[in-house]
Chains A and B, each alone.
Chain A
């Protein structure tokens, strides 16, 4: 980790990253860099390309053009090395339903070849923090969405990766667990790791991320700290939501939509 702190090279880097699905341009010339110690928030509406970006960086999707480097490695050329350095939480927690969290974590730790003592200590701390004792030996199929998300989070941290790719990691989590996850992400960055944190919730991005990239229709349309983003909209006190709506030019669209909806809603009621 010390090496990572000293390093000046980005842990995640994409250059002119493009991903096309038929006629749909999911990503268009995405350039981003996440440095050690940084929590980069990928903020965008549904369907903006956040998940596609994360899956492409992880190597699950092949880019149409452009290149990616994770810890200096290209995921297409070194998929296994890259995946060994990444901890990933998917948008919809994907885990083996018939296994218990214990079985699942055993499987992940086995594949990732982690040290038994270190892993046990880490798992015990995380499972305690997430109050998992009553659920640790239950089939994952019987767990709530939030509990599944906790299992996925522990699995993503089990090998102490240098890079965390978190796709809406707070989905389904209660207030306490959300807070713990935010703190954990902070600890990871403090240790010199890099985090790519995708969310569509402005408050979360504002609280957690050190730098934010606004992705819209597959393009990063603005990037920087909240202050830098504010300066781009000439709004020095606006919340991230206000800044976001201005940058994506969705303010006037929302006003029109709400007017139409209001008319339809009350018109139906009058009938």
Chain B
């Protein structure tokens, strides 16, 4: 089979994957069965849904690719601005590190729908030999990352070619960028596979739960690391540059052995002078990483084939010792179900790391300041609130087809909304807590500033309710377009969170009084909460 033919055929698997992920996450059965107004229209909508799913996936890939290009170029910006203290070695290393994290994160998000033999179920019935099957499956997998991987590789190679004018350095950069993408995808595949295996294994063992929690935290920390690398290069690059290039220091030698610094050292060595020890160690390391990338690529190929054939999944049937269950009452029962369902889905489990991320970001934002400024409290509160707003949509997404079942239970839409709003509000709680702890160590510009994150809890809860009600309203009416478009719900949520802060700022500039500004913020937050209650009761 020609590769072009395999690439063309892989679109069918890819389409199925994209459709499946959107359908599963958005409860396709729910709107399909409950939103039908006209039989003919519904079947049309099925076709439209598939097309829409592909369009959304393309848009999603495009946006992510754009950000990946931005983050891959960002470390090189200093060269164009003529800033001092920025070197090629650290810029290359940082660019590779950031794109690695970004690609791995995106891959983890999208892989959950791929990790099933169902994505290539149709393909497996076709008269294809093993190799053809593997190539088509691999191509369908590559289609998920093609834009972002190609974007980052091309941008890194072009920037290095422009800055160095050296074909050899450009070639090394091309190799390093390709290796980077291979590593990122392999790591994502490995993480998702372990997560899926852990989930599929079942049982009630504490080890499984701990492992799942560990992964959630790992993803959170990975995101923090990427965010840190992206937002802090201006602080760390000068130190990194000097550390990498100072001769005779043992730890600089060690850094040159580590990926991706070794790539940075080798690229730089081709256009400027680098200590011979560092160059030697980096070159040896880079060859080693090259071999590792070949291994990782082969492993990914094999794993993709195994996944698509449903091989390698170990399901342990641990016989239940008893059949006892613990009914908890509707609210707690729903909260427990939401937590379990979302934490077992790799694409949504990640959101449970948000409290960790929020706490870290709030602490980082304030770490370099001697006083806890009201402006920073506002920024931290706003960021924490916006992070928390991802959760209601993730929880609704995690319901998937189960929403159809929920509709058969004696439960109101209020009961569906409240647990999700409670969970998302709970994920925001680390923000006021972190700010409270920080205030013990740093003086506040105004004591009233501490009331801001507390009052904003009401705004976060209200915003969550608004998002959920919008989702349920559009889903119940079967408006597929609205259901698929989470952005509008998120946008409404962000507006609700921002409104009290904007009012605070306006009130402060009008009165220069923290008391009145906090009162104004509280007034808006309470008004939003009242509206949320009204919406819930309707």
Residue ranges of A at the interface with B (Cβ–Cβ < 8 Å): 21-24, 26, 55, 58, 60-61, 79-81, 83-84, 86, 88, 90, 94-100, 102-103, 105-116, 119-120, 123-124, 127-128, 132-139, 141-142
Given contacts A21-B36, A107-B337, contact A139 B199 (CB under 8 A): yes
Q: Of B320-328, B444-452, B490-498, B527-535, which stretch is located at the interface?
A: B320-328
CB-contact partner of B202 in A80, A100, A127, A128, under 8 A: A100
Q: A95-B402, A112-B410 are in contact. List 8 more A-B contacts (CB 8 A).
A: A23-B38, A23-B39, A94-B401, A103-B337, A110-B332, A111-B410, A116-B326, A133-B319
A119 touches B202 (CB 8 A): no
A142 touches B315 (CB 8 A): yes
A23 contacts which chain B residues (CB < 8 A)?
Answer: 38-40
B537 interfacial by beta-carbon distance below 8 Å: no
A123 contacts which chain B residues (CB < 8 A)?
Answer: 323-325
Chain A's closest residue to B408 (CB) is A88
B1 interfacial by beta-carbon distance below 8 Å: no
A97: shortest Cβ distance to chain B, in Å? 7
A94 touches B405 (CB 8 A): yes
B42 touches A142 (CB 8 A): no
B411 interfacial by beta-carbon distance below 8 Å: yes
B344 interfacial by beta-carbon distance below 8 Å: yes
A96 contacts which chain B residues (CB < 8 A)?
Answer: 337, 341, 399-402, 405
A99 to B332, CA, bound (A): 16
Given contacts A98-B341, A110-B333, A134-B317, contact A58 B327 (CB under 8 A): no
A90 to B29, CA, bound (A): 12
B254 interfacial by beta-carbon distance below 8 Å: no
19 A-B pairs in the complex with CB atoms less than 8 angstroms apart: A21-B37, A21-B42, A22-B41, A58-B408, A61-B36, A83-B410, A98-B199, A99-B341, A103-B336, A106-B336, A110-B327, A110-B329, A111-B333, A111-B415, A123-B323, A123-B324, A136-B323, A137-B318, A138-B315
B491: shortest Cβ distance to chain A, in Å? 29
A68 to B315, CA, bound (A): 45
CB-contact partner of A110 in B29, B318, B334, B399, under 8 A: B334
B95: shortest Cβ distance to chain A, in Å? 37
B200 interfacial by beta-carbon distance below 8 Å: yes
Interface size on B, residues (CB 8 A): 52
B334 contacts which chain A residues (CB < 8 A)?
Answer: 107, 110-111
B329 touches A133 (CB 8 A): no
A22 to B43, CA, bound (A): 11
A116 to B41, CA, bound (A): 45
A98 touches B345 (CB 8 A): yes
Given contacts A60-B33, A94-B401, A127-B323, contact A106 B333 (CB under 8 A): yes
A138 contacts which chain B residues (CB < 8 A)?
Answer: 202-203, 315, 317-318
B51 interfacial by beta-carbon distance below 8 Å: no
Residue ranges of B at the interface with A (Cβ–Cβ < 8 Å): 29, 33-34, 36-42, 199-200, 202-204, 315, 317-320, 322-330, 332-334, 336-337, 340-341, 344-345, 398-402, 404-405, 407-412, 415
A24: shortest Cβ distance to chain B, in Å? 4
Given contacts A97-B400, A116-B326, A124-B322, contact A111 B409 (CB under 8 A): yes
B33 touches A55 (CB 8 A): yes
B417: shortest Cβ distance to chain A, in Å? 14
B33 contacts which chain A residues (CB < 8 A)?
Answer: 55, 60
A138: shortest Cβ distance to chain B, in Å? 4
A24 touches B39 (CB 8 A): yes
A95 contacts which chain B residues (CB < 8 A)?
Answer: 402, 405
3 residue pairs, one from A and one from B, having the closest CB atoms: A110-B333, A22-B38, A21-B39
Chain B's closest residue to A22 (CB) is B38
B315 contacts which chain A residues (CB < 8 A)?
Answer: 138, 142
A137 contacts which chain B residues (CB < 8 A)?
Answer: 202-204, 318, 320
A18: shortest Cβ distance to chain B, in Å? 14
CB-contact partner of B337 in A97, A99, A116, A142, under 8 A: A99
A110 contacts which chain B residues (CB < 8 A)?
Answer: 327-330, 332-334, 336-337
A94 touches B402 (CB 8 A): yes
A98 to B402, CA, bound (A): 10
A115 to B328, CA, bound (A): 10
Chain B's closest residue to A135 (CB) is B317
A135 contacts which chain B residues (CB < 8 A)?
Answer: 317
Chain A's closest residue to B398 (CB) is A98
B337 touches A132 (CB 8 A): no
B411 touches A109 (CB 8 A): no
B34 touches A60 (CB 8 A): yes
A103 to B320, CA, bound (A): 13
CB-contact partner of A81 in B42, B325, B341, B410, under 8 A: B410
A114 to B336, CA, bound (A): 16
Chain A's closest residue to B399 (CB) is A96
B402 touches A142 (CB 8 A): no
A124 to B405, CA, bound (A): 22
B111: shortest Cβ distance to chain A, in Å? 16
A102: shortest Cβ distance to chain B, in Å? 6
Chain B's closest residue to A24 (CB) is B39
